Amino acid sequence: MSCKKFKILLSTYLDEEITKDEEEELSKHLKTCSGCARELEYLKDIKRVFFLKEKKEPSEFFETRLFAYIKDRGKQSLWERYLRAFKKPILLVLIFFLLTVGLLNYKKFFYQRPAELTSDLLIDTQLEENFEEELLAVYYEPPR
């Protein structure tokens, strides 16, 4: 037999479902083939891990709750099922969109003022000179 066939026999050997003839052939092969021997040790390690792992019993009324959940899930509309799955991504996209719009409006408001606002902020020098003359005239002209 080839190594491929012996590797198939390894799991049946560990489960103790192998015949005596197959077991003898396998033991002879394992003495000569280091690859299959390593594979057997690897499978034994895996089996030990599963046996050491603590077996947990399901909680009380687990089956009842499970079947009720399955039954209720069948009653949900397609929209409700997919909304639950995509709730977080939709929320993240919405937040990103709102932040982007807010940032663009913020820049537009503070950095690009309309012309009528900026012209009011600039002081016209001619207007300033006329204002000083009118002010002096009001205070220093003799009363009429």
Would you say 30 and 36 are in contact if contact means Cβ atoms under 8 Å apart? yes
Which pTM was predicted?
A: 0.38
Whether 81 is in a domain gets the answer yes
What pLDDT does residue 143 have?
64
- Regarding whether 16 and 48 lie in a shared domain, the answer is yes
Would you say 40 and 10 are in contact if contact means Cβ atoms under 8 Å apart? yes
Q: Residue 102 is part of which domain span?
A: 69-111
- Regarding whether 74 and 48 lie in a shared domain, the answer is no
Whether 64 is in a domain gets the answer no
Whether 125 is in a domain gets the answer no
Whether 122 is in a domain gets the answer no
What pLDDT does residue 134 have?
73
Taking only the tens place, the pLDDT of each residue in 36-55 is 889 889 988 888 888 777 77
What pLDDT does residue 51 have?
79
Cβ neighbours, 10 Å, residue 33: 15
What pLDDT does residue 96 have?
93
Whether 23 is in a domain gets the answer yes
Whether 130 is in a domain gets the answer no
What pLDDT does residue 107 have?
67
Would you say 31 and 40 are in contact if contact means Cβ atoms under 8 Å apart? no
Whether 46 is in a domain gets the answer yes
pLDDT tens track, the chain, 144 positions: 678 888 888 888 888 888 888 888 888 988 998 888 898 899 888 888 887 777 778 888 888 998 888 888 777 777 777 777 788 888 899 999 999 888 887 766 665 555 554 454 555 555 566 667 776 776 677 666
Taking only the tens place, the pLDDT of each residue in 16-42 is 888 888 888 888 988 998 888 898 899
What pLDDT does residue 94 have?
92
What pLDDT does residue 111 have?
59
Whether 123 is in a domain gets the answer no
- Structural domain tally of the chain? 2
